[in-house]
Each structure stands twice: as structure tokens, then as C-alpha cells.
Amino acid sequence: MTTHPASAASTPHPASAASTPHPASPASAPRAVPAARPASGAAPLAVTVHQVARPTGLPTPADFAFAEHPVPVPGPGTALVENVYLSVDPYMREAMEEGGWELGTPLEGRSIGRVVRSRTPGLRTGDLVFHRYAWRTHAVVTAEEVRVLPSLDGVPLRAWLSVLGGTGLTAYVGLTRTARLAAGETVFVNSAAGGVGTAVGQFARLLGAGRVLGSTGSAAKAAHLVQDLGFDAAFDYHDGPFAELLGAIAPDGIDVGFENVGGGQLEGLIAHMRPSGRIAWCGSVAQYNDPADPPAAPRNLYDVVGKSLRLEGFLVRDHRDAQRELEEFLVPHLRSGRVVPDDTVAAGIGTVVDAFIGVLRGSNTGKMIVQVGDPEEK
């Protein structure tokens, strides 16, 4: 096996062009990596991406390395999967800390791939499967480790990593199980132009919310939320004190808050919650890159008592039983066009590190996905 630093200069693995609502905006120019599909006559190669250092603050390309090796051969009871789409997500930054991902090994994450060789009766060649072996072009899996994905007319395959996957399930569970959104209520979500935030806004509308509000990191993203995704109002949190900006678009208060950031943004949200409101706390983007020095806790936490609020954190992995419910709710709306998978698609295994760093910098709109193979079987 040959390992190459993430800044190595060689040819990136190609990927077929995706139907991309928003072009990828990587943290820097894509670093080249060894080709996973060499010239005709050469032995097939696979590429894996490893974490090789613990980052301080925002990860850098030097924290990763690419490795090339022969395509693995499945043993009895396993199958070889050629990956098509990989997910990169903010939670992965926490996994890079001590006690998380093991250094020098291929990384994990949500993935979609196609079975290209099977030695198990549970999987057939050509099956499209969801699994957790990401940051690589190929994986060897057992039937118990994957979910064979159904073919859904009118639904793009990559939706299983966004609105039909963990991203959409997070939004759905937060709204329906944690916050228990009721018809006519006002919903606010921060980090609203990310994968979870764009799903929250669209789902809230379908679930009967009266007003859907959001905050994000740029004026262009705020306009996208309103013009393209049906938000009633949104603002760039850089434009002034967060609590004041939120008060301007929610003068009558908020019933349901969907919290993705923490720190001062959570403080501003608490300030504008109506009595008996509910906050579903999903993430804390404000502290992912510096977990040793998180932002100050909200100074108005006691207002949770004074307003009889419910502030509840949740982990989507504890609600996998809601997956079928999500699909029954969402698939008709995907087919009708009422829900649009809001994705940024980066092309090629060589872009995976930049795509991940881009998520932490907020360079994506919607869910960041890396395409490493062809979604159409040839």
C-alpha cells in the first residue's frame, strides 16, 4: 500500500458529473490523489483516506493522507462495494479528537455504493446499498452491515444521504418527536442553509408550521432560503447582534427552535421563545473546531424556567426506528417536487478533504456530498 499526503500532486480520481443544485465550494483547490481507475491494462486500484494527525482548531489538509492499494477481494460471506456517494458532516470534526477515529486507518461515515462482486446470498451484484465505510472508493461488507436501497422513481439516489438519510431523519425527529411541532406554530432554525437546516425548513412547512424562519452565514444564503426553499424570513447573523436580528423577523416570538449552533445564538433564541416553547438541540457548530474552549454558555438559561420552556437535546442514532416513517412522509413530496434535496456535490475522491473542511467553514449550501462513482449502472 502506498500512502500519499493530502497535498500530494497527482491525478484526481474522476467521477461522473452529478445533478448539482449548488457547485461545490471547497476550502481550497482539490488536492490531487492517485487515480482509482488507472489506464487500461494496469491493475485496478482503490483509494482510502486516513486521518494522520489530531487537528488544532479547523482541520487542514496536513491532517489527512490518501492511500492507494489493490481493490480488495471479498471473502466468503462478504461483498465488494464500489462507492458512489460519500457524506461529510460536521460531527466528523468531533471524531477527529483523541478517543475518536484511530490514526492511520480509513475513516467512517454514511455512504452509498454498488455491489460489484458478491460472495454472500444476502447481496446481489448491482444492488445499491447504504453502509458506513466512507472516505474510500471501495469497501468489503457483509449483508448485516448494509441496507439494500429500493429504487424510487423520481427520487435521486443521493437523497439517501440527505433528506432521506441521517440528515433528513435528524430534521424529522427533531420536529416531530423532540419539539412536537403543532400546526400554525412559528419555527426558527439556525445554521439554516446547511443540510439539516434546509431539511428542517422544508419539513416544517409540510408539517403545518405557520411561519418558518432561519439564520445563516451570508446574505446570498439567506436569500436562497426565502426564494428557493420557502422560508418566510432569514438573516445573515454577521449583520448585527444575533438577538436583535432574530427579534426583527420574529416580533411575536418563536414556538419551536431547532438549535444547531450553541453559544450566543442559543442565548438569542431563548430570549425570543414564547412561553411553553420547545427547543430541539441537535448540534453545536460553534464549538466543533475548538472543543477545549467552547463559547460561553447562554447567560439567560434561567429563562427556560421562567418561560416554562423545554430545552431537549437528542441524537438521531437513538431514533432509527423513525426511518420508515420518514420515508412514508417524504417520498410523495420528493416526487411531487414540494421538497427539493438541497445538495452541494463535490466530484471525485480527491475532493473529500476539501469538502469536509468546507462544511466546517460553511462553504456549502444544503447537504455536502462527495460523488466518487457513477450512479448509473453501465
* Separation of alpha carbons 175 and 142, rounded Å: 34
**pLDDT classification of 284: cutoffs 50, 70, 90:** confident
* DSSP state letters, 48-88: EEEE-S--SSS--GGGEEEEEEEPP---TT-EEEEEEEEE-
Flag whether pLDDT at 372 surpasses 60.
yes
Instruction: Kindly state the percentage of the chain with pLDDT values over 90.
Output: 79
* Separation of alpha carbons 270 and 279, rounded Å: 8
Could you report the per-residue pLDDT of 314-347, keeping only the tens digit for each? Answer: 999 999 999 999 999 999 999 999 998 999 999 9
Report strand pairing: 79-87 vs 367-371: antiparallel
Amino acid making up residue 326: L
**pLDDT classification of 223: cutoffs 50, 70, 90:** very high
- Domains defined for the chain, CATH in brackets: 2-159+341-371 (3.90.180.10), 166-317 (3.40.50.720)
Could you report the per-residue pLDDT of 55-84, keeping only the tens digit for each? Answer: 999 999 999 999 999 999 999 999 999 999
Flag whether pLDDT at 5 surpasses 90.
no
CB-CB neighbours of 94 under 10 Å: 16
| CB neighbour list of residue 244: distance below 8 Å, 6 or more residues apart | none
Spatial contact of 31 and 353, defined as CB atoms under 8 Å apart: yes
Flag whether pLDDT at 14 surpasses 70.
no
**pLDDT at residue 287, as a whole number:** 76
pTM: 0.86
